[in-house]
Amino acid sequence: MLKLFKLLGNKRLFFLLMGLILFIAVMGFTLGPRAGLSWPEKFSKDTVGFVQYIVYKPVSYIAGFFEDISNLRSVQKENEELKIALAHYTRDKAKYNTIEQENERLRRDLKFTEQQELRNKNYEYRIAHVISVNNDPDNRTLVIDLGSRNGITKEMAVTSDKGLVGTVSQVSNFTATVKLMTTLDSKDPNSNAIAATVQGNENKSFGMIESYDQQKGMFLMTKIKSDDPLKKGDTIISSGLGGEFPRFMVIGTVESRQPGEFGLTDTAYIKPATEFSDWNELFVVVTPEVPQ
């Protein structure tokens, strides 16, 4: 007995024995069948869960904040890329529309020249681009990029794909000045009148286009015989008489007809077939009578 007390007096051995007993007790407790958790286990689990909750919430907020910043940078980068792509698309679309419009004009020009060639193979239609326009109401002219080097001479007729525009008044080596038909004036000795007729009724209709009414924006056709079948809606073309203008040049359509100043002949207002503005391409008509 004395030995046992001496043995228990050794603190190290005492604690070792107590730890072993507790270990065996815990092992027996945990290995045995149980209906639920013990209160120490519950306490430890609740404590760990509470600590995880307290630690996880701020950590998740901080992580989400930095993730939002990263996403914001990605969105900003995507927005910049989209802006660049949109700018390129707008530029390419404008370029495409310009090319498409130019192709459409060139197709019309080709169709026009083919139709004119079928009408009269002796005429050559040389395409020219408008360089500049002078909008002086008393002397409206424009400059084209064809000159004497291209066989262009004074008095040649110039037309668009819709109708007669004017005549060449001055020529240099590489350019030519075109005097518009809106400058026609019967009182001007330098103004050339146009011998005109009705398209499809060339043998029965005749008149002279000598002036342009600035207020009404129409040509005035005079010297129309009273029995002339000319009527409203007819298409007026050049007859080619006198040699000043080639044949079959479209001038415009008849808007009205009334008796002339002295009652011997009639006059008619002709609406121009072409608008005298916003040209891109024009055609200089080269006739076989003009030296090339």
Q: How high is the pLDDT of residue 36?
A: 59
DSSP notation for 177-239 = EEEEGGG--TT-TTPPPEEEEETT-TTT--EEEEEEETTTTEEEEEEE-TT----TTPEEEE-
Give the integer Cα–Cα distance in Å for 193 and 182: 12
Kindly state the DSSP code that residue 192 receives in the 8-state scheme. Answer: P
Q: What is the mean pLDDT of residues 11-23?
A: 73
Amino acid sitting at position 153: T
Task: Determine the average pLDDT of the residues in 142-168.
Answer: 92
202, pLDDT greater than 60: yes
Note the pLDDT of residue 235.
95
Tokens 């109401």 belong to residue: 137
Q: What is the DSSP letter of 267?
A: E
Composition of the chain by helix, strand, coil, percent to 5: 40, 25, 35
Tell me if 234 sits within 8 A of 254, measured CB to CB.
Answer: yes
Angle, helices 2-9/11-31, rounded to nearest 10 degrees:
90
* Rounded alpha-carbon distances, angstroms, from residue 195 to 57, 127, 137, 188: 97, 25, 24, 17
Local confidence band at 8 (pLDDT 50, 70, 90 cut-offs): low
Give the model's pLDDT for residue 292: 45
**Among 3-12, 182-191, 275-284, whose mean pLDDT is lowest?**
3-12
Tens digit of each residue's pLDDT (9 = 90 or more) over 257-277: 998 777 789 999 999 999 887
pLDDT at 290: 46
Nearest Cα residue to 200 out of 145, 143, 253, 137: 253
d(CA 113, CA 90): 35
**166 membership: H or E segment, kind and range:** strand 164-171
Cα(85)–Cα(72) distance, integer angstroms: 20
Distances from the Cα of 91 to the Cαs of 5, 44, 78, 82, 101, in angstroms? Answer: 102, 69, 20, 14, 15
Residues 223, 227, 231, 236, CA torsion sign: negative
**Does the pLDDT value for residue 212 go beyond 60?**
yes
Q: How many angstroms separate the CA atoms of 113 and 118, rounded?
A: 9
Cα separation, 175 vs 147, in Å, equals 4
pLDDT of the residue at 173: 93
For CA atoms 141, 145, 146, 147, give the dihedral sign. positive
Q: Which of 30-34, 102-106, 133-137, 166-170 has the lowest mean pLDDT?
A: 30-34
Using alpha carbons, select from 247, 159, 235, 264 the residue that is nearest to residue 195. Answer: 247
Q: Look at residue 224 and tell me whether its pLDDT is greater than 70.
A: yes
* Residue 263 CA: distances (Å) to CA of 66, 258, 259, 266, 267: 96, 9, 6, 7, 10
More confident: 212 or 24: 212
CA-CA distances (angstroms) from residue 199 to 108, 120, 129, 196, 257?
21, 15, 28, 9, 17
pTM, two decimal places: 0.64
